Structure 1
């Protein structure tokens, strides 16, 4: 019966993950972003088009590889020190405690990443904010006979340059999915290492790794502005969304309290003093 419960648990986990991943995939493949108009004198849309330094595939690969390596190494070391949850039997197979802990942690991280990406990409398609390189990439030709353009806000126009895929990406500026995912990964890593990455050999090593992860996420966000892919407000909101998801997923889904999070405000039981010898 215990084996059946574990198999059902794994199957249900994958089903829930697919329920989040499929709408995200459908949004990216088939949805069309809102066609927002523009003002002819909007200088924030006149930056030149540049190739991005960090692609979505590269960022996702680095983020997942970073978390997987961190979790597997940390759980393996904890298991060798006797701090694991113990071995599990799944369909007759003996699964080490570190492997089961790694599965749960990476699974929760993946679920949170999918939810975070669905949130930011849904906002992208609903709002349809134009990227800073809109004029350079689109080279719009306004429809002078359309009543939609009478007030100076150009809504009826055609793009004379770029491919269909580029024209779609051109409308997906707000918020920055790169910044959101990078910050989500950094916050998840920072919280995870704070709870589980305990080593008495150095006081600052853990905090140095946390700072490095935060700086890496910060650089990803800044690179989106430098590459003229996002406005600064897009990156700011992306950071906030990623931070919120990283903290909520770790605290309320992974639930670090079950790993023995230190509680410095709690005091241990008072020491028992020897009873005085009663005089006779």
Structure 2
């Protein structure tokens, strides 16, 4: 009975800790849906500007459904498979999904807000506005267009309105930011799991890590080929996406330079909520009350141990397999953030400066 109540307390504490994160992600997505309904700024333009005279492509190389599949569902499925079947870690699964949702929600709200505020015409804007390449349906030939004397034109000259609103949302590229947000996060995730920067130079690791980035770059450049965006839109959009991918990743994972880069940060619950006793295979010795319990997230490592104020007494043979308890497992800290406070050789004692400990 006591163990059941203890489990319920841990579950409640964990849910309360991360519930705020998920709620904020949902709030950002709701805000994006509201902002997306706003009318973008209608920037003035010149009908003689050759950069906005391209034809409107009815078929996109990467439509929205394919963008969602490649930049969101693919990273989610890949990280989920690695976390569940290879890492066997619910903490890793949760952190990966939360980080991906955070990155993409921030990408959407920031990209769309800039689009609406700037109101830059797309490369195919004049065709959207005046049907330049559809003369059979009252299209206006380009040679008959003129700007007002000493002035620029505005959207009031447009005879076509069904595509006009989206025509003022060129900067920055949403496809580019979304693709680099999701696939960039996946690239960071793979780099951490493979220890890309372990200073041993494995080419296969670089190829695996760069594959999502190459796919993101192909998606971004397709927007230029489709005349949906200028090259500046794609460049800035790609930077926005990758920036938030790195930002979101570092909220829940160590630096790629860390020798523990394959480990997610520990659950944000107090020490007394961490499972102990037979639940984690930890002995009930007297030192457990005074020392800080600490556990690897992956249960099959040879060097998994419990950090106490003295030598470790935990055996790897007591590791439990996949189960709900893995969600509570503590992850090892980077060696640069651990120590016994006295400069001694004991690297298993968790220091007060560790980022991986809850505060």
TM bucket by the smaller chain? 0.7 to 0.9
Which structure's residues are more often strand, by fraction? 1
Quote how far apart the aligned CAs of 1:34 are. 0.5
Quote how far apart the aligned CAs of 1:168 are. 1.1
Q: Does 1:68 align with 2:67?
A: no
Aligned residue in 2 for 1:132:
123
Aligned residue in 1 for 2:60:
52
Which structure's residues are more often helix, by fraction? 1
Quote how far apart the aligned CAs of 1:61 are. 2.4
Moved more, 49-58 or 15-24: 49-58
Q: Take 2:194 and 2:80, find their aligned partners in 1: how far apart are those partners?
A: 12
Aligned residue in 1 for 2:223:
224
Aligned residue in 1 for 2:165:
168
Q: How does 1:39-118 map to 2 (within 5 A)?
A: 39-50=46-57, 51-80=59-88, 98-118=89-109
Q: Take 1:106 and 1:138, find their aligned partners in 2: how far apart are those partners?
A: 41
Aligned residue in 2 for 1:261:
261
Which TM-score applies when normalising by structure 1? 0.76
Any conservation in 2 of the 1:149–1:156 contact (CA below 8 Å)?
Answer: no
Quote how far apart the aligned CAs of 1:68 are. 1.6
Deviations 1:136-191 (A, max 9, x none): 121188xxxxxx9553211362321251xx21111100000111111122321221
Alignment CA distance shift 1:128-1:187 (3 Å): same
Q: 2:111 aligns with which of 95, 116, 120?
A: 120
Any conservation in 2 of the 1:34–1:171 contact (CA below 8 Å)?
Answer: yes
**Structure 2, unpaired ranges of 5+:** 1-8, 132-139, 141-146, 263-333, 346-359
Quote how far apart the aligned CAs of 1:43 are. 0.6
Instruction: Kindly indicate whether structure 1 or structure 2 has the higher relative contact order, using CA contacts under 8 Å at least 6 residues apart.
Output: 1
Deviations 1:226-247 (A, max 9, x none): 0000001100111111121112
- Structure 1 counterpart SS, 2:211: helix
Aligned residue in 2 for 1:246:
245
Q: How does 1:171-250 map to 2 (within 5 A)?
A: 171-197=168-194, 203-250=202-249
Aligned residue in 2 for 1:38:
45
Moved more, 175-184 or 207-216: 207-216
Question: Deviating runs (4+, > 6 A) in structure 1?
Answer: 262-266
Quote how far apart the aligned CAs of 1:264 are. 9.9
Any conservation in 1 of the 2:75–2:183 contact (CA below 8 Å)?
Answer: no
**Structure 1, unpaired ranges of 5+:** 81-97, 142-147, 271-280
Any conservation in 2 of the 1:67–1:106 contact (CA below 8 Å)?
Answer: no
Q: Take 1:25 and 1:234, find their aligned partners in 2: how far apart are those partners?
A: 21
CA RMSD, 1 decimal: 2.9
Quote how far apart the aligned CAs of 1:60 are. 1.5
Q: Does 1:151 align with 2:159?
A: no
Quote how far apart the aligned CAs of 1:249 are. 1.6
Q: Take 2:152 and 2:194, find their aligned partners in 1: how far apart are those partners?
A: 54
Q: Does 1:25 align with 2:23?
A: no
Aligned residue in 1 for 2:318:
none
Q: Take 1:135 and 1:184, find their aligned partners in 2: how far apart are those partners?
A: 30
Q: Take 2:165 and 2:259, find their aligned partners in 1: how far apart are those partners?
A: 45
